Amino acid sequence: MKSKSLIAPSILSANFARLGEEINSVMSAGADWIHFDVMDNHYVPNLTVGPMVCKSLRDDGIKDFIDVHLMIEPVNELAKSFASAGADLISFHPEAVESTKDTIEIIKECSCKVGIAINPDTSLSVLDDIVDEIDLILLMSVYPGFGGQEFIEDTIEKIQAARELIDKQDHKIYLEVDGGDVSLIEVTDDMIVKVKFIGACSTCNISMQTFSWYGLINITEYDLQIYKFINL
């Protein structure tokens, strides 16, 4: 039986002045999860959001599944803070912790699902002793820290290998691929939207799903009856 593909848009693509409103819009348009890209300007050279944003969304009534990707070092204390703030799943990079098993246990003790994030240069062998303890494998198709990077072709083989590994397990494990973006180029007077896939999206085999999602969500601010989409 073929698994359903899930769409987990990152809040980094949102207007933070209207974050709750935009999350409600993307979920209404068909997104499945809300993805948090958490960066600390230490493990990766960028700085984004903390647990307070997650808690604010929960306090505002957002009940959707929140998928948190921690690109930080150290991990354990902030993972607990995100769990307390309302995260449903927390992924981390094994290079950023002293003991992968201990961090998995800490996250699970917070009643959260746990994922392992795999950088492009990291082998899937890091999963050998822990695959039976995790709920998600997050494969990076770009180097963490910045959007819009070129898709790393070796990711295709890693996706296939991860899928084979998952199929051998006795419990459900999600496979998530991170990287890519869509840029709005123009909305013409005759209701044609021109967009461009960049980064991993440019070669992604489910890019048309992203295309449809982008049209439903990000074009709504124009309040237009869209006639056609063109991918440049």
Q: Are 176 and 134 in contact (CB under 8 A)?
A: no
pLDDT for 86 beyond 60 = yes
- Sign of the torsion angle spanned by Cα atoms 220, 225, 230, 232: negative
Q: How far apart are CA 10 and CA 49, in angstroms?
A: 12
Type of residue at 49 = V
Which entry of 32, 37, 170, 190 is annotated as an active-site residue? 37
Tell me how crowded residue 111 is: count the other CB atoms within 10 A of its CB: 8
Task: Identify whether 102 is a catalytic site residue.
Answer: no
Say whether pTM exceeds 0.85.
Answer: no
Task: Identify whether 37 is a catalytic site residue.
Answer: yes
Which entry of 40, 67, 135, 178 is annotated as an active-site residue? 178
Domains delineated in the chain? 11-179 (3.20.20.70), 181-232 (no CATH)
pLDDT for 131 beyond 90 = yes
pLDDT for 21 beyond 70 = yes
- Average pLDDT of span 151-167: 90
Q: Looking at residue 186, what DSSP letter applies?
A: E
Q: How far apart are CA 209 and CA 226, in angstroms?
A: 17
Q: Mean pLDDT of all residues in the chain?
A: 83
Q: First vs last Cα of the chain: how many Å apart?
A: 34
Choice between 148 and 128, residue whose per-residue pLDDT is larger: 128
Q: How far apart are CA 224 and CA 92, in angstroms?
A: 40
Closest CA relative to residue 182, chosen from 142, 155, 212: 212
What does each C-alpha distance from 232 to 134, 161, 182, 198 come to in angstroms? 39, 32, 10, 10
